[in-house]
Amino acid sequence: MPNLRLIAAACVMVPSLMAPLQAISQDKIELTFMSWEASPLESASIRAGLKDFEQANPDVRVKYVTSPFAQHHSKLRTMMAAGTAPDVFYLNPDYQRDFVANGQLLDLTDAFPKYWDLKDFTPGSQKKIQLEVDGKKHIYGVDVCNVGPVLFYNKKLFDEAGVPYPPTKLADQWSWDQFVGYMRKLTKVQNGKTLQYGTANFEEGMNLYTTQEMLASNGATWFNADFSKAEGMDSPQTKNTLEKIKALRTDGLAPNPASIGLDTTNSPTQLLLTGRVATLFMGSYGLQELAASHIELGAGLPPKMSGTFTPMSSCNMDAVWSGTKHPEEAIKLVTFLTSMKFAIPLYKAGLWMPNRLSMYQPDNLKSWYDPAVYPKGWIDMQSLWTHSDLRWFDQIRHTDEVYNIISDSLQSYLYSDAKLDDVLPAMQSRVNEAMQQQ
């Protein structure tokens, strides 16, 4: 249950935000902002942005610290317990509900309308921002952008194989069988050795981003309506999806990254950049690195398995620690970090996609949509970000435990001889045990 005492205290503090920042104190206030380092460009943009913020708010100094993503949230919890947490920080939405339940986030509900227009956020982003607590909608963090899976490809390899480029319009989206047929043509084997694979990353282990989208496109669901219980993990749709994904590798169309000498722990882009694969299914954030490379880059829609294709997207949020001594200044920093002034350079570079509907209007496209960065037809795929749903993991609690159970279970099927009829019921049972924790 949420810590109502802390939430109530936070609500009391928010109305004081109406006072001018300079009037709060004659002494300089120091805020700490902590993020994980998604890319050097993002960190450079943050540092430049913080200088702009300090110039506009001369009574405030911001100390910027980073941490590896894998350690970020555990480090936050430790610092919060010790009373030394940063005032403002990146928060993966996977963890939002756990942090709220522990009373660790400042309630931004009353302050939000002053600084942001909720209706301008994409529907998926609105859904992420608003949490129902004790029967009312509350806001504890501000979504910074959208990231959703895209099928990146090397045009040269498609031309050599005589394969049409992946479509960018939903009406032309490939079926799974079409996709597999084309990937077979793009796979090159010589003397028993595979020189070039058709595709990669459908077995993504980083955060199951791509796996969730394929499961959803095959009609599978893994949780009940309010995401309080796991249901459907052992359904025929789940089994069918996972069998098709595994078959890409066992049929020789996709590599096992661990066996071809490439480190894809943090990013799978090397698979495409080195020419080992013709297509790569990964988050749109990969565009920044791929667009700066020498390959003839293209991007298209992922295939759909059956039924209705529902894209999934997500991205981190900016949140304020409930224990901050400077809530007013901390929220002002969040307004800057989620402003278009801060975001447009990251849109232009291809690292972020806008989560504001207005930025997809023709007049605003001119401010960030750079044809030198974005492959031809990219904007035709805008529904991947404007009409996407949330990842399932963004809507549950005890995410660490649930993710670890699912990841271990899927690895045992994908990379060993474990049977889905054994793996999936056991996985669902273990996930429900984890989700019932208080």
In 99-237, DSSP assigns E strands to 130-133, 136-139, 141-143, 149-154, 188-190, 193-196
Task: Specify the range with the lowest mean pLDDT, choosing from 84-88, 96-100, 265-269.
Answer: 265-269
Q: Considering the chain, what is the average pLDDT of its residues?
A: 90
Amino acid 129 reads: I
Which residues are within 8 A (CB) of 216 and not within 5 positions of it... i.e. 6 or more apart? 310, 312, 389
Residue 14: per-residue pLDDT: 39
pLDDT in tens, 367-420: 999 999 999 999 999 999 999 999 999 999 998 899 999 999 999 999 888 999
pLDDT tier, 19 (very low <50, low <70, confident <90, very high otherwise): very low
Residue 48: per-residue pLDDT: 87
Q: 279 and 157 in contact (C-beta within 8 Å)?
A: no
Q: Pairing relation of β-strands 29-36 and 88-91?
A: parallel
Where do runs of H (alpha helix) occur along 57-135?
A: 69-82, 96-101, 112-115, 123-129
402 SS3 class: helix
Q: Determine how many CB atoms are found less than 10 A away from the CB of residue 180.
A: 18
Burial 224-246 (b: 16+ CB within 10 A, else e): eeebeebebbbbebbbbbbebbb
pTM metric for this prediction: 0.89
Percent of the chain with pLDDT over 90: 78
pLDDT tier, 49 (very low <50, low <70, confident <90, very high otherwise): confident
